[in-house]
Amino acid sequence: MKEQLEKIRQAAAHALDAVETGEALEAVRVRFLGKKGELTAVLRGMGALTPEERPVIGQLANEARTYIEGKIEEKKAAVAAKKREAKLANEVIDVTVPGRRKPVGRLHPLHQVLNEITDIFTGMGFSVAEGPDIETDYYNFEALNIPSDHPARDTQDTFYINDNIILRTQTSPVQIRVMEHTKPPIRMIAPGRVFRSDAVDATHSPVFHQIEGLVIDKGITMADLKGTLEAVVKGLYGPDAKIRLRPHHFPFTEPSAEVDVSCFACGGKGCGMCKGEGWIEILGAGMVHPKVLKVGGIDPEVYSGFAFGLGLERIAMFKYGIDDLRLFFENDLRFLRQF
């Protein structure tokens, strides 16, 4: 029996040497120490021993059990440590790996110029108004003193939804909408999308943007118009920028003018940008026609005002030296990323 115990002890030590996992360890425990285990079987057989042998073998058996249990505990700790090491090795994070950069978006160049212009006007006390893209004939034409036989109503220019409803061809209808619900003094700009049935080329697009302006108060004159626009142009193009007014005709202003800015590329000497003129046309303006004031519910005997309308794309093109309008609408990232 003594030999048998020694054999079991060696067999257990041998088996434990080969153990790599928790499951294998448990199998070894069951094999030697379990209810039907090899050592347990020996202990069961002790009843057959003589009273003298019993304590001797009993002690040996206990020693064998303690030995095997100790070995199992050792192995258990070793297996757990190995498992932890493997897990840590697996979970290693290399904090020196460069991060993944998210591309940063930015405002469209037209929006950047719009924001700049809006800042200049709001800095002078203007508020910002909006009107609908889909307008009635009344607001887009009739109320602005554009009679039904005026060439601007030609179906070539205007997108009609029906006889009465159109896509606005200009932001000027917002003038009427603001006058209808605002008592003077009025100082507002109205940026927005406008639509004209034009074929697309480098300088034409069926959709583009205007910024309308309207100032109404007692005693407003052409000098206020000129002073305001001069301040805006200096804000946009720098302190050396000048403007000039050329007589023109718009049905909703009297007198009317086209406004040029001194060429910001050559300062007025004449260059490729201004086609040798030294001046670049940037907007239409004038004193609000008395008929238009009346339509808006404002007494032309008491109040006067000026209005202007500028093309956002045109201003952005000159500001950035862009020679093709289509670039603004194609949304090519190679273009947009330059702003």
Binding site for ligand DAH (CB under 6 A): 170, 172, 212, 250, 253, 284-286, 307-309
CB of 287 to ligand DAH, least distance (A): 8
Count the neighbouring beta carbons within 10 Å of the beta carbon of residue 46.
13
DSSP 201: B
- In the complex with ligand DAH, which residue's Cβ is closer, 216 or 307? 307
Show the CA angle centred on residue 59, arms to residues 51 and 34, nearest 5°: 105
Instruction: Write out the two tokens for 188.
Output: 């507002």
Instruction: Please name the residues in contact with 143: beta carbons below 8 A apart, sequence gap of 6 or more.
Output: 173, 176, 292, 295, 296
**What are the distances in angstroms from CA 161 to CA 165, 166, 245?**
5, 5, 36
Please state whether the peptide bond connecting residue 255 to the residue before it is cis, i.e. omega within 30 degrees of 0.
yes
Quick check: 240 and 335 in contact, CB under 8 A?
Answer: no
- In the complex with ligand DAH, which residue's Cβ is closer, 38 or 212? 212
DSSP 263: -
CB of 256 to ligand DAH, least distance (A): 6
CB of 133 to ligand DAH, least distance (A): 14
Measured between alpha carbons, how far is 286 from 151 in angstroms, rounded to an integer?
A: 20
Question: What distance lies between CA 313 and its chain's CA centroid?
Answer: 22
Question: What is the per-residue DSSP string for 303-328?
Answer: -EEEEEEEEHHHHHHHHHT---TTHH
CA neighbor of 212 nearest in space, from 329, 136, 117, 320: 117
Measured between alpha carbons, how far is 275 from 5 in angstroms, rounded to an integer?
A: 111
**Residue of minimal Cβ distance to ligand DAH:** 309
Question: What distance lies between CA 222 and its chain's CA centroid?
Answer: 42
- In the complex with ligand DAH, which residue's Cβ is closer, 109 or 286? 286
CB of 306 to ligand DAH, least distance (A): 7
Question: What is the per-residue DSSP string for 173-208?
Answer: HHHHHHHHH-PSPEEEEEEEEEE-----BTTB-SEE
CB of 104 to ligand DAH, least distance (A): 36
CB of 302 to ligand DAH, least distance (A): 20
- In the complex with ligand DAH, which residue's Cβ is closer, 32 or 328? 328
CB of 147 to ligand DAH, least distance (A): 16
- In the complex with ligand DAH, which residue's Cβ is closer, 170 or 304? 170
Question: What distance lies between CA 180 and its chain's CA centroid?
Answer: 36
CB of 112 to ligand DAH, least distance (A): 22
What one-letter code names the amino acid at 91?
E
